[in-house]
């Protein structure tokens, strides 16, 4: 007796003054009219049954359903906890079970990281350890409200979450990544925010696993863990988050199966311990809410305890709700025996039944309505829900090392990049995302890599300046385990010690302690778990598409401490995300663009296309449609190359001229004669570049230069083209056509001697842009293509943008079948005849690119001349060149760029009607359109090969596909603003 009194005194001393300050929200209903009325209808045993919740599954078939229905109809159980299945089946079953029950059933689920924890076809949000790295607790509140919406949409009312255990044992096999971490303050803040989000959305929650399951190395599913800490330690650490979340009004607490001698020396599991539940939780901590057992089928409580009897003991200990009772009739009978024996009163049972009923009223079950099954998967997987998942993964990214500011990676043109994915045997989403930023060679190292495999790879990696390594998991759950072969681990260590090593870690952070020298990596990013979203955002971080401010939620041996993490806020390149992240409606954007493209392809306006949309520096739409041609089955891929045709003007000529303008080497009041001496005595000698670039220089629109190579009978003039290449005929037109070396000069001469038009009005002309490479070369002493590569495409990471692509043909989309000049299909070389006669390099046509790489250049324009942490052009220059030069005339053009074209009635027909007057862009003969709107920071790229198989196909124009899609972008912005 003396020892017991001493124990109770110590408990009171340690835990006094911690009563709950905000009451659980349902308590106000314990004596409501509805609860009173229900209680009068229940027999004593039915009141006991309200305290019982059995396990239900939506993937176990008819026999299981009948078992549940029998328990509902015969035993009058109070609730169900759902486990594995799918959302539609779960809703159907819950509706059936509710219909069969005389009283509405309380539905629960373990949805610690969302309903994806249990149900397929749904979102799994980041694990709690991942969330422990997030610095904005408001995001946890948002998560709570969204999880509540999804749980309620599936017909349930109670979430057995959050986990508030402080995980200070790296070897904890059951909590670990399910905890917010080892910092009790962080755990308390995160758990409270998550709880408040759920309960504010009318979903009841339970803090678990009381009194703290974080410092165990035994899984209570299989045995009873023992915690041997003294009371003072338990009070200051394990119990701290529980006290804090109780103060904020959490509705429930789940009790763990633990043996804690300092709290109960009898050795019984805490679930069955009256000193722990009644003495500590209820009396000392003052908790009045719902007390729930952990699952009553777990070995931690069932070992040595008989079903039914163990449930009775849990009730005697002070629990209100029994989760996963295995023998319901026996449990009710045993509790009845306890009442008859005076171990517990019927009044106490009634009080607990009232709690259950009060919860049911609080969640709305007093006005129960069946839950609709229709559209449930779509309604669960909303764009906003997916965006929240991505935002949380981004916010968790933790940079542990950034030596010499290696991140984000820069000087792309000077470095050779390789990536190595450890633990994978095929290209990963991480590696595919890296490809969006720079040229990259990829390698994989399987878990069981042999010494021979590793040795070969080691030699290959010597050829690269920067190696980006990814450490992948072999499970969807980030456990503290590492299964790599010794050879693979040795290579990881070697790479970590190299000067320019970057690592992305997709495993439990505790595993860092199992890898030698990993802490020496120049760049080290922890993403905490291994899924597609984590891989994508980590790759974006490495190249500056997203920032990072996550902090490590646990310590990693002596290598890193909880709270470590470097801020990397600068976002210097395009990111890749969902439309809602940029204020656009994804449903409208996707459905309407898909519809317009399907019509275009069905009507044979174009065989296929690439479309990219970016807003606020975020790529929110990037799709490939259709096939390369009408005659094959090669589907268009997002990295295929298209002939940009006249978009070359603003993607090659204009960046070069604007840069020279910044450097004082090109003046807008200058003339061709200033750069090309042969034009000094021509009729074009005095025409200023302002007129030339706005197409009002009185130039002829074009000359079909290629026709001068033909005789009247259609054969080639002997001095122009030969079948074989030679020093005199070096310019390749096709494999059987080589043009005379002097022919480009003949083209220049023809332009020089061409007559001028009578009136100075807008007439679109290619002439200057054909000459532009010579103008640029006159001031740079470099060939045009090299100048662009060195000053723009290379530094931008725009690997595919360039002339005369070296990519294999299956990566290049074909254009026209040329029956007139080349007499073969055009595939892999420029479509424009004049450009191919200039060796494929011209300022009016000749560029090839995919949409993603072209976007880097165009986004640089929208950024005011900056991209990737580098300034390419002055903002003032871009503003000058992209505004209408002669606004008081009928000439809409900017300097080299096209502008909106309203007709006499004010109707715009070359862009979206809602495009701003500040917007600018260009189109291309092959079916290209690019447009930038600085007022909306909106970028639109449409790449197609409408000229396949013939340029006479004008359906893309008659359908107005490009501009109709352009308008969809503005509609999507308006729709999101009003949603």
CATH no. for residue 751? 3.40.710.10
Give the start-end residues of each E strand in 216-279: 252-255
* Strands (E) located in 595-710: 608-615, 618-626, 642-643
pLDDT of residue 610: 98
pLDDT of residue 394: 98
State residue 303's pLDDT score: 87
Same domain, 320 and 453: no
One domain, residues 936 and 974:
yes
CA separation for the pair 834, 842 (Å, rounded):
8
Does the pLDDT value for residue 716 go beyond 90?
A: no
> Would you say residue 848 has pLDDT above 70?
yes
Tokens representing 459?
């030699």
Whose CA is closest to 50, among 23, 30, 64, 20? 30
pLDDT range class, residue 18, cuts 50, 70, 90: low
Which of 573, 601, 625 corresponds to the end of one domain? 573
Per-residue confidence (pLDDT) for residue 507, from 0 to 100: 98
Q: Is the pLDDT score of 44 beyond 90?
A: yes
Task: Indicate if the pLDDT at residue 245 is higher than 50.
Answer: yes
Q: Which residues contact 63 (CB under 8 A, 6 or more apart)?
A: none
- Closest of 438, 429, 439, 412 to residue 538, by C-alpha: 429
CATH for 482? 3.40.50.1700
* Residues 525, 394 contacting (CB under 8 angstroms): no
Long-range contacts of 772-775 (CB under 8 A, 24+ apart): 772/652, 772/653, 772/656, 772/657, 772/842, 772/843, 772/844, 773/653, 773/838, 773/841, 773/842, 773/843, 774/675, 774/676, 774/748, 775/657, 775/666, 775/672, 775/675, 775/676
Helix (H/G/I), strand (E/B), else coil: 788: helix
CB neighbours of residue 866 within 10 Å: 17
Torsion of CA 785, 786, 792, 794, to 10 degrees: 120
pLDDT value at position 854? 98
Q: Decide if 208 contacts 164 (C-beta within 8 A).
A: yes
Mind listing the pLDDT tens digit for each residue in 659-714? 999 999 999 999 999 999 999 999 999 999 999 999 999 999 989 998 888 888 88
Give Cα 807 distance to the centre of its chain.
29
Residues 599 and 490 in one domain: no
| Cβ atoms < 10 Å from Cβ of 442 | 18
Q: Could you report how far apart the first and last alpha carbons of the chain are, in Å?
A: 67
Residue 793 corresponds to which tokens in the numbers above?
A: 């495409």
Radius of gyration of the chain, Cα coordinates, nearest whole angstrom:
35
Q: Outline where 33-107 has alpha helix (H).
A: 33-41, 44-49, 61-70, 87-100
Q: Quick one: 598 and 568 in the same domain?
A: no
- pLDDT band of residue 632 (cuts 50, 70, 90) is confident
If you average pLDDT over residues 921-933, what whole number do you get?
98
- Whole-angstrom Cα distance, residue 744 to residue 694? 25
pLDDT, residue 53, reads: 98
Last residue of a domain, one of 539, 573, 607: 573
Count of CB atoms within 10 A of residue 28's CB? 12
CB atoms within 10 A of CB 204: 27
Q: Domain total for the chain? A: 3
Question: Which of 333, 352, 379 corresponds to the end of one domain?
Answer: 379
Helices H, strands E: what count in the chain?
34, 30
**Which domain does 362 fall in, by range?**
2-379
Q: How confident is the model at residue 9, as a pLDDT?
A: 42
**Cα–Cα distance for residue pair 907/40, rounded to 1 Å:** 73
Residue 384 lies in a domain: no
pLDDT of residue 552: 98
Does a structural domain hold residue 579?
A: no
**Is 837 within 8 Å of 703 (Cβ atoms)?**
no
DSSP summary character for residue 119 = B
Torsion sign (Cα): 306, 310, 311, 316: positive
**pLDDT for position 14:** 53
Residue 655 lies in a domain: yes
Closest by CA position to 695, among listed 960, 890, 531? 890
The number of CA neighbours under 13 Å toward the Cβ of 670 is 15
Cβ atoms 848, 811 nearer than 8 A: no
User: How far does CA 846 lie from the centroid of its chain?
Assistant: 35
SS3 for 811-825, per residue?
HECCCCEECCCCCEE
Same domain? 771 vs 910: yes
Residues, the chain, total?
979
Question: Are 364 and 410 part of one and the same domain?
Answer: no
Specify the 3-state DSSP secondary structure of 195: helix
What pLDDT is attached to residue 921?
A: 98
Residue 583 lies in a domain: no
| Shared domain check, 608 and 519 | no
Comparing C-alpha atoms, which of 283, 263, 282 is closest to residue 273?
263
pLDDT in tens, 933-963: 999 999 999 999 999 999 999 999 999 999 9
435 and 370 together in one domain: no
Closest alpha carbon to 309 in 292, 296, 299: 296
Say whether 733 sits in a helix, a strand or coil: strand
Q: pLDDT tens digits for 464-517?
A: 999 999 999 999 999 999 999 999 999 999 999 999 999 999 999 999 999 999
Alpha-carbon distance 921 to 915, whole Å? Answer: 11
pLDDT at 765 over 80: yes
Rounded Cα–Cα distance for residues 325 and 75 (Å)? 12
Q: 501 by DSSP, 3-state: which? A: strand
Contacts of 395 (CB under 8 A, 6+ apart): 133, 134, 135, 136, 139, 549, 550
- Kind of pairing between the strands at 501-505 and 523-526: parallel
| Within a domain: 873 | yes
**Same domain? 690 vs 544:** no
Alpha-carbon gap, residue 90 to 106, rounded angstroms: 14
Cβ atoms of residues 180 and 187 within 8 Å: yes
What pLDDT does residue 12 have? Answer: 46
Residue 6 is predicted with a pLDDT of 43
d(CA 928, CA 611): 10
Q: In this model, does residue 19 exceed pLDDT 80?
A: no
Percent of the chain's residues with pLDDT above 90: 92
Q: Residue 876 is inside which H or E element, if any?
A: helix 875-882
> Could you tell me what percent of the chain has a pLDDT over 70?
98
Q: What is the mean pLDDT of the chain?
A: 95
Region 119-140 average pLDDT: 98
Peptide bond into 467 cis (omega under 30): no
Is 944:927 a contact under the CB 8 Å cutoff?
A: yes
H/E stretch holding 489:
helix 486-496
Q: What is the DSSP string of 299-329?
A: HHHHTT--TTHHHHHHHHHT-SBEES-S-HH
Bridge partners for 738 per DSSP:
722, 732
Give pLDDT, residue 902. 83
pLDDT tens digit sequence for 201-227: 999 999 999 999 999 988 888 899 999
Q: Are 574 and 859 in contact (CB under 8 A)?
A: yes
**Is 580 inside a domain boundary?**
no
In this structure, the answer to whether residues 45 and 77 fall within a common structural domain is yes
| DSSP characters over 796-848 | HT-TT-EES--S-GGGB----EETTTT-EE--SS-S-HHHHHTTT--SSS-EE
- pTM for the model stands at 0.95
Nearest CA among 922, 976, 955 for reference residue 596: 955
Q: Is residue 562 part of a domain?
A: yes
Token pair of 402 as six digits:
């950034």
pLDDT tier at 300, thresholds 50, 70, 90: confident
Q: Which helix (H) or strand (E) holds 238?
A: none
Cα(103)–Cα(943) distance, integer angstroms: 61
Read off the DSSP letter of residue 894: -
Same domain, yes or no, for 553 and 701?
no
Q: Has residue 390 been placed in a domain?
A: no
Nearest to residue 309, comparing CAs of 268, 348, 277, 346?
Answer: 268
The CATH number of the domain holding residue 350 is 3.20.20.300
Same domain? For 666 and 607 the reply is yes
Average pLDDT on 904-927 reads: 92
């Amino acid at each position: 007796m003396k020892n017991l009194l001493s124990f109770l005194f110590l408990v009171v001393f340690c835990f006094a003054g911690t009563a709950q300050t905000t009451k659980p929200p349902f308590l106000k209903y314990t004596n409501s009219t509805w609860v009173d009325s229900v209680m009068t209808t229940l027999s004593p045993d039915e009141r006991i049954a309200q305290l019982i919740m059995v396990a239900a599954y939506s993937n176990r078939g008819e026999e299981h359903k009948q078992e549940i229905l029998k328990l509902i109809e015969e035993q009058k159980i109070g609730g169900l906890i759902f486990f594995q299945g799918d959302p539609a089946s779960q809703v159907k079953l819950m509706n059936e079970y509710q219909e069969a029950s005389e009283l509405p059933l309380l539905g629960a689920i373990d949805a610690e990281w969302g309903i994806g924890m249990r149900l397929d076809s749904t979102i799994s949000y980041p694990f709690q350890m991942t969330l422990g790295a997030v610095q904005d607790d408001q995001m946890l509140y948002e998560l709570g409200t969204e999880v509540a919406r999804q749980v309620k949409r599936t017909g349930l009312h109670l979430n057995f979450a959050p986990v508030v255990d402080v995980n200070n044992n790296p070897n904890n096999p059951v909590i670990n990544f399910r905890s917010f971490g080892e910092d009790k303050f962080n755990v308390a803040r995160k758990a409270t925010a998550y709880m408040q989000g759920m309960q504010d959305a009318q979903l009841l929650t339970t803090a678990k696993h009381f009194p703290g399951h974080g410092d165990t190395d035994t899984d209570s599913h299989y045995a009873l863990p023992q915690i041997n800490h003294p009371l003072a330690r338990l009070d200051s650490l394990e119990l701290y988050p529980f006290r804090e979340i109780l103060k904020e009004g959490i509705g429930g607490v789940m009790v763990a199966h633990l043996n804690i001698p300092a709290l109960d020396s009898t050795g019984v599991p805490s679930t069955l311990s009256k000193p722990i539940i009644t003495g500590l939780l209820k009396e000392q901590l003052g908790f009045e809410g719902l007390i729930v057992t952990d699952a009553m089928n777990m070995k931690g409580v069932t070992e040595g305890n008989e079903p039914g009897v163990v449930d009775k003991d849990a009730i005697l200990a002070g629990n209100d709700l029994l989760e996963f009772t295995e023998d319901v009739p026996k449990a009710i009978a045993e509790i009845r025996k306890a009442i008859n024996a005076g171990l517990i009163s019927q009044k106490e049972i009634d009080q607990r039944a009232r709690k259950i009923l009060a919860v049911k009223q609080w969640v709305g079950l007093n006005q129960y309505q069946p839950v609709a099954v229709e559209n449930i998967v779509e309604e669960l997987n909303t764009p906003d829900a997916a965006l929240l998942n991505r935002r949380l993964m981004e916010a968790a990214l933790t940079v542990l090392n950034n030596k010499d500011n290696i991140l984000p990676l820069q000087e792309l043109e000077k470095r050779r990049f390789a990536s190595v994915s450890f633990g994978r045997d095929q290209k990963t989403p991480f590696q595919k995302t890296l490809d969006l930023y720079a040229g990259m060679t990829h390698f994989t190292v399987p878990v069981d890599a042999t010494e021979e495999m590793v040795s070969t790879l080691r030699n290959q990696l010597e050829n690269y300046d920067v190696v980006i390594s990814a450490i992948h998991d072999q499970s969807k759950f980030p456990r503290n385990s590492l299964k790599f072969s010794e050879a693979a681990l040795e290579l990881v260590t070697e790479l970590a010690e190299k000067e320019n090593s970057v690592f992305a870690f997709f495993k439990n952070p505790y595993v860092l302690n199992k890898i030698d020298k990993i802490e020496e990596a120049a760049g080290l990013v922890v993403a905490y778990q291994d899924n597609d979203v984590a891989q994508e955002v980590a790759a974006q971080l490495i190249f500056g598409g997203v920032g990072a401010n996550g902090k490590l939620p646990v310590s990693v041996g002596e290598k890193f401490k909880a709270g470590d993490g470097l801020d990397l806020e600068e976002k210097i390149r395009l990111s890749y995300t969902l439309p809602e992240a940029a204020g656009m409606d994804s449903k409208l954007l996707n459905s309407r663009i898909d519809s317009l493209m399907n019509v275009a392809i069905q009507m044979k306006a174009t065989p296929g296309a690439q479309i990219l949309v970016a807003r606020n520096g975020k790529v929110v739409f990037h799709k490939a449609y259709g096939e390369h041609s009408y005659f094959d089955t090669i589907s268009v891929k997002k990295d295929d190359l298209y002939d940009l045709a006249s978009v070359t003007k603003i993607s090659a000529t204009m960046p070069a001229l604007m840069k020279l303008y910044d450097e004082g080497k090109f003046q807008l009041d200058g003339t061709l004669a200033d750069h090309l001496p042969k034009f000094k005595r021509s009729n074009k000698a005095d025409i200023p570049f302002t007129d030339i670039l706005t197409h009002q220089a009185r130039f002829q629109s074009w000359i079909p230069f290629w026709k001068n190579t033909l005789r009247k009978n259609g054969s080639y003039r002997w001095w122009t083209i030969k079948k074989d290449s030679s020093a005199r005929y070096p310019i390749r037109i096709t494999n059987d056509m080589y043009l005379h070396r002097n022919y480009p000069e003949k083209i220049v001469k023809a332009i020089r001697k061409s007559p001028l038009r009578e009136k100075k009005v807008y007439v679109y002309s290619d002439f200057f842009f054909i000459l532009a490479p010579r103008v640029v070369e006159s001031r740079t002493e470099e060939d045009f293509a090299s100048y662009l590569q060195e000053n723009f495409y290379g530094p931008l990471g725009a690997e595919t943008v360039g002339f005369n692509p070296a990519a294999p043909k299956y990566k290049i989309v074909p254009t026209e079948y040329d029956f007139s000049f080349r007499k073969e299909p055009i595939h892999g070389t420029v479509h424009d005849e004049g450009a191919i006669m200039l060796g494929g390099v011209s300022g009016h046509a000749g560029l090839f690119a995919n949409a993603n790489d072209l976007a880097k250049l165009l986004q640089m324009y929208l950024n005011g001349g900056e991209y990737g942490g580098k300034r390419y052009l002055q903002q003032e220059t871009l503003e000058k060149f992209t505004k209408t030069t002669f606004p008081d005339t009928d000439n809409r053009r900017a300097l080299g760029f096209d502008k909106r074209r309203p007709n006499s009635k004010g109707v715009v027909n070359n862009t979206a009607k809602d495009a701003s007057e500040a917007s600018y862009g260009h189109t291309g003969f092959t079916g290209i359109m690019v447009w930038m709107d600085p007022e909306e920071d909106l970028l639109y790229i449409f790449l197609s090969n409408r000229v396949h198989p013939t340029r006479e196909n004008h359906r893309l124009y008659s359908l107005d596909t490009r501009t109709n899609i352009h308008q969809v972008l503005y509609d999507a912005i308006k729709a999101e603003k009003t949603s």
